[in-house]
């Protein structure tokens, strides 16, 4: 079974600085998708960024980018120019090609210090 | 605007009581999902449905039941057989094909009286 591990329960960063959240996963499959979701205090899950495993180019969405290392099974999220509104729980998630199920990591709580 | 509506936002259950959580979407998505979130943990899949009148168990289906009579609706019933129902419940939906991400509702917090 696939597993997703986020080894940093909590992270903090100064406003306007850059922070990287780690995620590793375990799978024997070659085709899959990876996601980062943000859960602010309102508890809604918001999609931040996604990556297809067959794409070598790292996904980027404005201030958010990923470092996808397929061989190492690593999928880290970099947040540039951190803003107070970025404070939230961040979850890494995995989905196999053709599967419906998302497998989530335990989450990383990100605090932004003004 | 299209989206996913979960109701109620807060729900209380008495011992031995069944309760139903509502999830409605107007995104015309084929697939719908129910997840449970416990404090300090990620989401775990309870049930999912890819088409009307069909659904499959997820990782923690015991003590829960669902129905999918309409494409827009996927209610979750927490039965009295679920001995530890206190949690945050999230509903999600997605297009069935391709790499489409799941979109989530705002969640329901269920507590035991």
A4-55 pLDDT, tens digit each:
999 999 999 999 999 999 999 999 999 999 999 999 988 889 999 999 999 8
Q: Average the pLDDT over A69-80 and give the result.
A: 97
CA distance B43 to chain A (A): 6
Q: Does A102 contact B43 at a Cβ distance shorter than 8 Å?
A: yes
| pLDDT of A99 above 90 | no
| pLDDT of B97 above 70 | no
Q: Among B43, B58, B104, whose Cβ lies nearest the Cβ of A44?
A: B104
Tell whether A106 lies on the interface with B, counting CB pairs under 8 A: yes
What's the angle, vertex CA A78, arms to CA A75 and CA A82, rounded to 5? 155
| pLDDT of A109 above 80 | yes
Rounded to the nearest integer, the mean pLDDT of chain B is: 91
Percent of chain A at pLDDT exceeding 90: 85
Q: Strands, DSSP E only, in chain A?
A: 3-5, 10-14, 19-21, 24-26, 32-39, 46-52, 60-61, 64-69, 74-79, 88-96, 103-104, 108-113
Tell whether A21 lies on the interface with B, counting CB pairs under 8 A: no
pLDDT single digits (tens) B23-39: 999 999 999 999 999 98
| pLDDT of B40 above 90 | no
| pLDDT of B44 above 90 | yes
Q: Which residue does chain A place closest to B89, by CA atoms?
A: A43
Residue B64's closest CA among B49, B81, B51, B48?
Answer: B81
Tell whether A101 lies on the interface with B, counting CB pairs under 8 A: yes
| Residue B98 confidence class, pLDDT cut points 50, 70, 90 | low
The two tokens of residue A14 are 């100064």
Tell whether B23 lies on the interface with A, counting CB pairs under 8 A: no
The two tokens of residue A41 are 């205090």
Q: What pLDDT is attached to residue A52?
A: 92
| Residue B96 confidence class, pLDDT cut points 50, 70, 90 | confident
Rounded to whole angstroms, the Cα distance separating A44 from B85 reads 20
The two tokens of residue A90 are 């961040």
Q: Average the pLDDT over B65-94 and give the result.
A: 94
Tell whether B92 lies on the interface with A, counting CB pairs under 8 A: yes
| pLDDT of B1 above 70 | no
């Amino acid at each position: 079974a696939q597993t997703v591990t986020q080894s940093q329960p909590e992270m903090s960063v100064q406003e306007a600085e850059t922070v990287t959240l780690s995620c590793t996963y375990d799978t024997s499959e070659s085709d899959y998708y990876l996601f980062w979701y943000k859960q602010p205090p309102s508890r809604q899950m918001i999609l931040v960024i996604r990556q297809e495993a067959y794409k070598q180019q790292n996904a980027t969405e404005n201030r958010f980018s990923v470092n996808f290392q397929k061989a190492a099974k690593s999928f880290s999220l970099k947040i540039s120019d951190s803003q107070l509104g970025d404070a939230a729980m961040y979850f890494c998630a995995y989905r196999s090609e053709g599967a419906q199920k998302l497998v989530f990591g335990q989450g990383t709580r990100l605090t932004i210090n003004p | 605007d299209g989206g996913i509506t979960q109701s109620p936002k807060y729900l209380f259950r008495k011992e031995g009581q069944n309760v139903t959580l509502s999830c409605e979407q107007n995104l015309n998505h084929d697939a719908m999902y129910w997840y449970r979130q416990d404090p300090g943990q990620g989401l775990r899949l309870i049930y999912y449905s890819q088409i009307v009148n069909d659904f499959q168990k997820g990782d923690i289906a015991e003590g829960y039941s669902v129905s999918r009579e309409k494409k827009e609706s996927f209610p979750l019933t927490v039965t009295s057989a679920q001995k530890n129902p206190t949690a945050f419940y999230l509903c999600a939906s997605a297009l069935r094909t391709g790499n489409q991400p799941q979109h989530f509702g705002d969640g329901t917090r269920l507590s035991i009286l």
